[in-house]
Structure 1
Amino acid sequence: MISLLVLIIILLLIGGCIWGWPLVAATLGLSSVTDKPGALKHIQQLMNTYDIFPAEVEAAFHAPSSAEDSSGKRSKGDIARTLFTYLGAIFILAGVGTYIGTFWDTMGSTMRVLVTLGTGYILLIVLVAALYERRYPRLILPLTLASVLMMTGGWYVLLDEIYPASSNWRAATLFVFGVMALHQGVLFGKYRRTALAFTSLFFVYGFMHVGLDLLGLKIAYIAIVLGASVFLVGTALEKTPQRALAEPALLIGVCWLNSGLFDRIAMFTSGNWAGLITGVSVMLTAYGLHKSERYPRLIALGYFVGSLMAYTGLFDLVQNTVVELIYLAVTASVLYACVVLESRTLLLTTVIAMLGFIGYYSTEHFSNSLGWPITLVLMGVAFLGVGAIALKVKRRI
C-alpha cells in the first residue's frame, strides 16, 4: 500500500512538471509563442532589450552558419583538455574542502588562515592568469566564484583569529566587503567581465548597506535608497556589454525599494494601506517596462505580485464598510486595462479577485436568495452578448 502511494506521488510530481509548468508559464506570459504575431512581438522585445537593429538581424539571417561548423570541428584534444581541467579543479577544491572540514579543530590560527585566505588568493592568481591569457573563457565564472567565496571566508577567519573576543560583526563585515569590493572593482576595471561586474556590485552594495546601518540609518530607509540606486544601475547596465545583469538588477532594485516603502507606509498608516500603495507602485513599474517593451518576465512578475498586493490591501480596507462595491468597480476598471495591455497575468489576478469578491458579497448579503445568482447569470449573458455585438461592429468598420 505504501509503495503504491509513493508511486502515485511520483507520477503526480512528474505530471506536474510536464503539464503544470506549461500552464503556469502560459498564465504568466512566459511560454513560447504559438503564432506569428506573438513571435514577431517576442522578436521585437528581444531587439529592444539587446539594442539590436533590423540591419543586424538581416545580416545575421543571410550570414553562413559558420559557428556550427566551427563547433562541430572541435578537436578531441581540446575536448580532453577541457574535461581534465574541470576534473582537476573539482578534485582540488574537494580535497581542500575535505581537509578543512576534517582537521579544522586541530589547526592553529596560522594554518586556518592559510587554508582559507591563502587558497582564495591562489585561486585569485589563477583567475588573473586566465583573464590575462584569454585562453580559458569558460573557467572565468567558476574561478571567480571560487576565489570570492574562499577569500571572503578567509578574511572572516583572519579577523576572528585576531579578535576572538569581538562580537562586532558589522565592523568585520564592513572591512571584509570593503576589501573584496576593492579587489573585484580593480579586476573589473581591468578586464570588464560580467562575472566581475556582478561580484563588484554585490560587495559594493553590501559595504554601503552595512555602513549605513552603522551610521544609525533605519533599515527601511537603507532599502529605499539602495533599492532605487540598484534600479538606476540596472537601467544603466542596459547600454553596456554587461547587459545580462540588467534584468536581475532591476528585479532586485524593485524588490528592495518597495520593501522599504512597505515598511514605512505600514508604520505610518496600516498594513492594508501599505499593501495597496506598494502593490500599485509595483504595477506602475511593470507598466513602465511594458511601455518600453523590455523584459517580459519582469513585466509578468510585476503585474502578478503588484496586483495581488493591491487587491488584498484594497479588500481589507473596504471590507464590511458602506463602500464595499468600490472593490468591484476597481476590478472592473483593471479588467479593461487588462484588455488594453493584453496582459494575461493581470487578467488572471483580476478575474480571481472579481470572482472572489462576488462570492464573498453573495455569501454576506444574498445567502438565501434565489434571485441573486439568476441575476448574475443574466448579467453574464448580457455582457457576452454585448461583447459579441461589439466584435461584429468592429469587423464591419
Structure 2
Amino acid sequence: MNGTDNNRTDQILSELSALIESGQINKKQILDLFKDEQPTEAEQSKVNLQTLFYVLGAFIVIVGIVVLIYQFWADMDQITKVLLTLGSAISAYSIGYYLHNQEKTKELGLAFLTISLVTYPIGIGTTLDLVGVSAMEMGGLTIISAILFIIYFASYFAFKTWLFLPFVVAAGSSVFITFTNLLFENALTPKHFNEYRGLVLGITYIALGYYFSLVRKPSMVSIMYFLGFILFLGASIILTGFKPNINIIWQFAYPFLLVLTFYISVLAKSKEILIVGTIFTFAEILKLTSEYFSRTLGWPIALIIAGLVIMGVGYFSFEVNKRLIKHQSQP
C-alpha cells in the first residue's frame, strides 16, 4: 500500500469516526458489512425439508433392504446373498461418494453414505460366511468389527464429515469388546471382567469427548461425555458391591468420583455430565439407604431421608447448572 492509499484510508476512517460520533451510523451497521450473506428463512426451510426427505428416504431404503433379505434369505445361495448385501453397500457408497463431491447434492450423498454404513456389516458378515469364516462366532465378529473400523475411519478422513464419527466410535468399541471376548473365549474370565471393560470404554469416551471439544465437534462432545460418564459411573457403582459383598476400596472411592464428575461438568461446561452425575448420585443415595438404614430406621423413615437428600442434590445440581455452567457458557 503506497502513501496515497494510506492517506485515503486515513481519510475514510476519519469520516467514519465522525459519522459514528454524530450518531448517523452505529456499530451494528458497520459489523453487518463484514458478515457473509445469510440464507433467508425460506431458503433455510427448504434446506431443512430436503434433509428431512433425504433422511426419511434413506431410512425407508434400509428398511426395504432388511425386509427383502428377511423374505428371501433362505432361498438364496451364498453368492447371491453376498451380491445383495455387500453389493448394495458398495453401490450406495459409490453413489454417495459421487453425490457428496457435487456441491448441490452433498446432503443427498450423505443419505446414500448412511445406507452403505448400515448395510456394510451384513455384507461383510455374509462374505465371511462365503469364505468359510463364521460371522456369528467371536473370531468372525472381531474381523467384521476391525474391517468396519478401517472403512469408517478411512471414510471420515476422506469425506471430512461428522456422519462417520459415531460409526467409527461404535466400530472401535465393537473391536475392543469382541477382541477381549475372543481372548478369554476358552479361558476363565477374570472377576468383574465386564465392569472393568466398562471403565476402560468410559474413560476412552471421556477422552474422545475432550478431543472433540478441542476440534470443535459439539455434537460428538455431548454424546461422548454422556455415554462415557454413564459407563464410568455405572461400572464404578457396580464395583462397589452390594451388602454383604461390599468392596471397601470402591465404596470409599465412589463419592469422590461423584464429586469429581460434578467438578468436571463445571470445567467442561457440560450439562450432560451434570445430568449423569446427578442421576448416579441419586442411585448411590438409594443404594446406601437400602443397605444401611432400611433395617435400623425402617423403610418409611429411610425413604423420607433419601427423598430429602435427593431433593437437596437436585437443588444443588440445578444451581450448578444455572450459576456456573450457563454463566460460563455465555460469551
Sequence identity percentage: 13
Match for residue 130 of structure 1?
99
1:264 and 2:239 are equivalent in the alignment: yes
Once residues 190 and 117 of structure 1 are traced to their aligned partners in structure 2, the CA distance between those partners, rounded to angstroms, is: 20
Q: How does 1:1-397 map to 2 (within 5 A)?
A: 63=32, 66-69=37-40, 72=42, 96-163=65-132, 166=134, 169-216=137-184, 218-266=193-241, 270=245, 280=255, 283-292=258-267, 294-321=269-296, 342-343=318-319
Unaligned runs of 5+ in 2: 1-26, 185-189, 322-331
- Provide the secondary structure at the position in 2 that maps to 1:294: coil
The secondary structure found in structure 1 opposite 2:104 is: coil
When the two chains are superposed, the root-mean-square deviation of aligned CA atoms in Å is 4.5
Contact conserved, 2:294 with 2:302, CA < 8 A, in 1? no
Structure 1 residues 158-180: Cα deviation after superposition (integer angstroms, max 9, x where no partner) = 2234438x586211111001001
TM-score when normalising by structure 1: 0.58
Deviation at 1:235, TM superposition (A): 1.3
Count of aligned pairs between the two proteins: 285
Q: Which amino acid aligns with 1:198?
A: P
Change (3 A) 1:134 1:265: farther
Q: Relative contact order: is structure 1 or structure 2 higher (C-alpha 8 Å, sep ≥ 6)? A: 1
Deviations 1:13-38 (A, max 9, x none): xxxxxxxxxxxxxxxxxxxxxxxxxx
**1:282-338 Cα shifts (integer Å, max 9, x gaps):** 63254124422622244134213322333332442233349x999999988887776
Contact 1:279–1:307 (Cα < 8 Å) also in 2 = no
Q: Is the 8 A contact 1:262 1:278 kept in 2?
A: no
1:152, 1:180 within 8 Å by CA — same for their partners in 2?
A: yes
Distance 1:303 1:84 in 2: 38
CA contact (8 A) 1:280 1:310 kept: no
Q: State the distance in 2 between where 1:213 and 1:224 align.
A: 16
CA distance in 2, matches of 1:317, 1:221: 26
Please identify, of 80-89 and 201-210, the stretch whose mean Cα deviation from structure 2 is larger.
80-89
Per the alignment, do residues 205 and 93 of structure 1 end up closer, same or farther by CA in structure 2, a change over 3 Å counting?
closer
Distance 1:86 1:312, change over 3 A: closer
Does structure 1 conserve the Cα–Cα contact (< 8 Å) formed by 2:209 and 2:221?
yes
